[in-house]
Structure 1
Amino acid sequence: MNKEEIISRTIDHVKQTLVNAEGGHDWWHIHRVWKTARHIAAAEKADELVVALGALLHDIADSKFHNGDETIGPRMAREWLQSLQVEEPVIEHVENIITHISFKGGNHHQPFRSKELDIVQDADRLDAIGAIGIARAFSYGGFKNRLLYDPAVPTNLNMSKEEYKNNNAPTINHFYEKLLLLKDRMNTATGKELALQRHAFMESYLKQFYGEWDGER
């Protein structure tokens, strides 16, 4: 099976698997990450197949929707790629991308590194900021029945992995606990460049939000 067919069949598989997914983690999220990852990979000269499969399968079973189980995503990806008879080094690399892509509070050591992981991670993080990122944050906040904002709830920038996983603070707090941090955590030159405008848009949005919240705008 050639690379194009592997990717095409994986697209169909992901679409089917995520048909009823929450709006911020559905096929269209995968599609945007895949497209962005391809754009970054072209500039960074990475393994295009690994990047494509890592992007397409990175949220095949997000732990947030599987009782916090961080093993199910890599396992499902491996089983799928084995069914396509993909070479073991590629499968292992994609597994590592899925295992290590998540933000997880940003306060943990990432033992695996590769150019391909850097690219997919940047693409995923870019989809978490800017206009789309704002929409996704409030979509997930609604899914979890979180408040929009509560001035009495402080942000926490020193959460452990477990604290971050179980955090149920208002959605506005998420901007400070993750989204506004991502610009400075991009891995690639292309990712850093793309993040600048999206970051600025979020800052502008928050200024408008607080003005409306206080009745000043």
Structure 2
Amino acid sequence: MNQSDVLRKTKEYIYMKFSKDVTGHGPDHMERVATWCRTLAREESEDPFLAELAGWLHDVDDQKLVQDPKQAREERMEWLLECGLTKDDVNAVEEAIDTVSYRKGKKPTTRLAEIVQDADRLDAIGAIGIARTFAFGGSKGQLLHSDDPDEPTSIRHFHDKLLRIHSLMNTTSGKREASHRHELVLQFLREYEREQNIKGETTK
């Protein structure tokens, strides 16, 4: 298969397999990440094909989405080999995907990995990131807000993760976009706090 066919079939596979996702990690998320991977790769002089492919496939083995991450990872590698990628390219894609997770805290060891990590993190902030935060929280039955510091809530997720992302970006282009999105998140939180803390007059 040529590169266009590989990307087309990968997109079809992702939309078929994950179309029912309600956590904010569905095909629309993967497509945005793939698009940012391609964009960042071109701006950072990296292979746009491998970057976009990694973006499409980066969540295939995410434990939030599949019951058996190991099996899903093996199936992804088999798919890449069937598409005609060399073992070196497959390993490069897998290495990039392995460092995407914020929770795992792994640092990228290649430029491709930096790009894929940045692309995924960009989709966690800004307007899209705000929407995805509440989609995920709702899917898990989380409260919107709580005064209990130990209660996991959607708003607490902003402080635990989202507000840190802009300072963890790797690429010049990624940092620039993250800075813009970070300001939007701050603006949202300021307005949320203003509305949350308004005290109306009590009726007697």
TM-score higher than 0.5: yes
Aligned equivalents of 1:124, 1:187: Cα separation in 2? 12
Aligned equivalents of 1:124, 1:72: Cα separation in 2? 22
The aligned residue for residue 37 of structure 1 is 37
- 1:86-125 matches, cutoff 5 A: 86-104=85-103, 106=105, 109-110=106-107, 113-125=109-121
Deviation at 1:83, TM superposition (A): 2.4
Extract structure 1 runs of 4+ deviating beyond 6 A: none
Aligned equivalents of 2:197, 2:74: Cα separation in 1? 48
Aligned equivalents of 1:169, 1:39: Cα separation in 2? 34
Aligned equivalents of 1:216, 1:190: Cα separation in 2? 42
Cα RMSD (Å): 1.9
- 1:23-102 matches, cutoff 5 A: 23-66=23-66, 70-102=69-101
What amino acid is aligned across from residue 141 of structure 1 in structure 2? G
Ranges in structure 1 where 5+ consecutive residues have no aligned partner: 155-167
Select 2:176's aligned residue among 193, 203, 206. 193
Deviation at 1:3, TM superposition (A): 1.4
Q: Return closer, same or farther for 1:115/1:11 CA change in 2, 3 Å cut-off.
A: same
The aligned residue for residue 22 of structure 1 is 22
Deviation at 1:200, TM superposition (A): 0.5
Provide the identity percentage: 34
The aligned residue for residue 156 of structure 2 is 173
- 1:106-145 matches, cutoff 5 A: 106=105, 109-110=106-107, 113-145=109-141
Deviation at 1:73, TM superposition (A): 4.3
Deviation at 1:203, TM superposition (A): 0.6
Paired residues of 2:34 and 2:56 also in contact (CA < 8 A)? yes
Deviation at 1:71, TM superposition (A): 3.0
Deviation at 1:78, TM superposition (A): 0.6
Q: Return closer, same or farther for 1:72/1:177 CA change in 2, 3 Å cut-off.
A: farther
Aligned equivalents of 1:102, 1:176: Cα separation in 2? 18
Q: How big is each residue's C-alpha offset from its partner over 1:118-173, in whole Å with a ceiling of 9 and x where there is no partner?
A: 1111111000001100000000000000011112215xxxxxxxxxxxxx711111
Paired residues of 1:105 and 1:177 also in contact (CA < 8 A)? no
Paired residues of 1:31 and 1:56 also in contact (CA < 8 A)? yes
Q: Return closer, same or farther for 1:41/1:129 CA change in 2, 3 Å cut-off.
A: same
Q: How big is each residue's C-alpha offset from its partner over 1:194-215, in whole Å with a ceiling of 9 and x where there is no partner?
A: 0111101111111111111112
Ranges in structure 2 where 5+ consecutive residues have no aligned partner: none
Q: Return closer, same or farther for 1:5/1:141 CA change in 2, 3 Å cut-off.
A: same
